[in-house]
């Protein structure tokens, strides 16, 4: 009877994961979807604690189990409530790394159990160790790079070293699983050491502009590693959750690469966003740029028929999403149609701008995907770019020598007027100078995005 109840709880958990993921596809239902999936996880956890049996024995050490649950809940809740939107990408990397670490620890525990293991279980244990460790180590490096604690590092011959390490990992996995050498723990722990080294070297040279792709890829790794845990424990909830995360992360990685018009191989082996890109961008003399005053900006926008706002990381840094929404509402009151052009890789993580604007209650219908935004750009009177850089750089279309050449961009030059808000003329995260800033249609509006928008709102109220 208890086993039937346990399996029912697992079924409920699996269904809530699937329904929660579906609800995450729209901001109106995303919060409920997240809570629904969390509720399913809680049911699965408590069912496992109180109903799971193995060879007639139930779980014990309840004090340690509940101490860990309470500690994790408190730390996770406090961290989630205190994190700023600008720090959300590194938090995603950190949490993703913890998932990889869990998969790694599961493999360690299962390997050290005295029971005789089948070839199938050893395959799952070894691969779970490899993938989980790579995900953990790579996510920690991504976390450090996103918060500025770790800089890009390109090791001479790094690609060859990575290939050799990866080949060594495959050889170790085959040896551990196939028993070609004496089954010593050293071989298994060799997988742990080499996988950690590979994860570090794998992410270290990847440039900042490619971090959304890397985060998606590492997320898929964690999902696959969690699915291996589901196989080990014959646990349908772990299996379902791992498959959902792994497949969603893989699909998202492919979409990110498509949005940048680059292959995954090029992202992982190239240097886009690194020091070479910055050097290339700094070499060109673009000429002069022109500035625009707040008053002129307010007049231009107030008498426009159609305004499109292009959000970027600078908007997140300034925490200006709420005042941006207020600007939108004031323009709407004046009869101006306002929309937002969203590039798939704007920000530091997939969907960063969507999450940022959803936090400010911007209607989802106003968020235009890149293709739709470009279709409407020709009929737009004013484009206001808030802290975006690389996703509007015309070099992606015009300069074959540019590291971002071929990447689809928001074609803002089709609009009548382009106003760019930035703190300074420094290049964006990819380290490439933006030719757009020097084009005839473009005017620069310097300053912190939040302060500029607050002043712009005040000016618009007077127009």
CA–CA gap between residue 208 and residue 198 (Å, rounded): 19
Length of the chain: 463
Contacts of 221 (CB under 8 A, 6+ apart): 100, 131, 132, 134, 135, 138, 246, 249
Packing angle between helix 185-203 and helix 158-178, nearest 10 degrees?
150
If you compute the radius of gyration of the chain from its CA atoms, what whole number of angstroms results? 25
Q: How many CB atoms lie within 10 A of CB 369?
A: 14
Name the strand (E) or helix (H) holding 79: helix 62-82
DSSP for 264-298? HHHHHHS-TTSHHHHHHHHT-------B--HHHHH
Annotated catalytic residue: which of 390, 398, 399, 448?
A: 390
DSSP H or E segment with residue 233 = helix 211-233
Q: Give CA–CA dist 253/262, Å, rounded.
A: 11
| 390 given a catalytic annotation | yes
DSSP 27: H
**Residue 224's closest CA among 207, 204, 240, 246?**
246
Q: Where are the alpha helices (DSSP H) in 147-210?
A: 158-178, 185-203
Q: Residue 193 and residue 342: Cα distance in Å, rounded?
A: 41
Torsion 356-362-363-369 (CA) sign:
negative
Crossing angle of helices 185-203/119-146, nearest 10°? 30
DSSP letter for each residue of 351-409? THHHHHHHHTT--GGGEEEHHHHHHHHTT-SEEEEES--GGG-THHHH-TTSTTTT---
Q: ∠ CA(395), CA(443), CA(380), 5° rounding?
A: 80
Catalytic residues: 390
């Amino acid at each position: 009877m208890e086993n039937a109840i346990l399996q029912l709880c697992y079924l409920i958990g699996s269904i809530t994961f699937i329904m929660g993921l579906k609800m995450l596809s729209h901001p109106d239902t995303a919060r409920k979807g997240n809570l629904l999936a969390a509720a399913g996880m809680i049911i699965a956890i408590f069912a496992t604690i109180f109903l799971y049996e193995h060879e007639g024995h139930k779980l014990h050490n309840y004090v340690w189990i509940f101490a860990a649950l309470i500690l994790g809940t408190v730390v996770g809740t406090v961290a989630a409530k205190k994190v700023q939107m600008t720090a959300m990408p590194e938090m995603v990397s950190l949490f993703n790394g913890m998932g990889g670490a869990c998969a790694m620890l599961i493999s360690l525990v299962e390997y050290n159990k005295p029971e005789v293991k089948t070839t199938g279980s050893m395959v799952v244990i070894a691969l779970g160790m490899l993938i989980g460790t790579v995900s953990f180590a790579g996510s920690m490096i991504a976390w450090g790079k996103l918060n500025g604690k770790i800089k890009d590092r390109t090791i001479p011959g790094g690609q060859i070293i990575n290939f050799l390490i990866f080949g060594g990992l495959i050889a170790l996995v085959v040896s551990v699983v196939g028993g070609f050498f004496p089954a010593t723990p050293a071989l298994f722990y060799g997988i742990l050491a080499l996988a950690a080294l590979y994860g570090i070297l794998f992410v270290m040279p990847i440039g900042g502009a490619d971090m959304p792709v890397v985060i998606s890829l590492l997320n898929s790794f964690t999902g696959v590693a969690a699915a291996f845990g589901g196989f080990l424990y014959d646990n349908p909830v772990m299996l379902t959750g791992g498959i959902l995360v792994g497949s969603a992360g893989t699909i998202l990685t492919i979409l990110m690469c498509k949005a940048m018009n680059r292959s995954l191989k090029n992202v992982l082996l190239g240097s886009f966003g690194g020091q070479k890109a910055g050097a290339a961008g700094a070499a060109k003399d673009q000429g002069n740029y022109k500035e625009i005053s707040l008053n002129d900006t307010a007049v231009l926008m107030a008498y426009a028929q159609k305004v499109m706002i292009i959000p970027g990381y600078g908007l997140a840094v300034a925490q200006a999403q709420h005042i941006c929404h207020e600007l939108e509402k004031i323009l709407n009151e004046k009869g101006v149609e306002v929309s937002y052009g969203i590039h798939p890789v704007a920000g530091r993580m997939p969907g960063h701008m969507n999450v940022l604007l959803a936090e400010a209650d911007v209607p989802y219908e106003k968020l235009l995907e890149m293709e739709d935004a470009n279709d409407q750009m020709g009929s737009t009177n004013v484009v206001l770019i808030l802290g975006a850089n690389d996703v509007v750089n015309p070099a992606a279309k015009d300069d074959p020598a540019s590291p971002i050449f071929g990447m689809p961009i928001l074609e803002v030059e089709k609009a009548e007027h382009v106003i760019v808000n930035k703190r300074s003329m420094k290049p964006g995260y990819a380290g490439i100078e933006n030719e757009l800033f020097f084009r005839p249609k473009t005017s620069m509006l310097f300053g912190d995005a939040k302060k500029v928008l607050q002043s712009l709102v005040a000016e618009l109220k007077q127009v």
